[in-house]
Amino acid sequence: MEVTTTSLDDILTGWVMLTLHDGDTVNIPGAPTIFVTGQVSSPGRFVWEEGMTVEQAIALPGGYTNRGSDRGIVRRRVDGELTTIDVTEADVVEPNDTVRIRPRQL
């Protein structure tokens, strides 16, 4: 069995010429994701993009609910260890991060 690994960009630009044969299997890995939870309109899993900020991540599920606080944002990251820190909208998120919006204090 022969395994060939390449990027879609290399195929599309013609850098790699790839010929598929009957019986070949093509595996396409899933896109990296983040989770946005808490006081947002539609919490869930979303596709992560390079350089994505917390503000952009919050926009994906439709933004804050009327109870959400832009001062109550927590980022949870698994990077060998689990770390949870308060962040601002300008901070950057990484793949597999969870961004949680806490309710505003009344």
Number of Cβ within 10 Å of residue 65's Cβ equals 17
What's residue 82's pLDDT? 85
Q: pTM here?
A: 0.75
Predicted confidence (pLDDT) at residue 84 exceeds the cutoff of 80: yes
What's residue 28's pLDDT? 85
Chain centroid to CA 69: 21
Confidence of residue 62 (pLDDT cuts 50, 70, 90): very high
Assign 54 to helix, strand or coil: helix
Assign 56 to helix, strand or coil: helix
Count how many Cα atoms sit within 13 Å of the Cα of residue 48 in the half-sphere of its side chain: 19
Confidence of residue 55 (pLDDT cuts 50, 70, 90): very high
Superfamily of domain 33-103: Outer membrane lipoprotein wza domain like (3.10.560.10)
Average pLDDT on 68-92 reads: 90
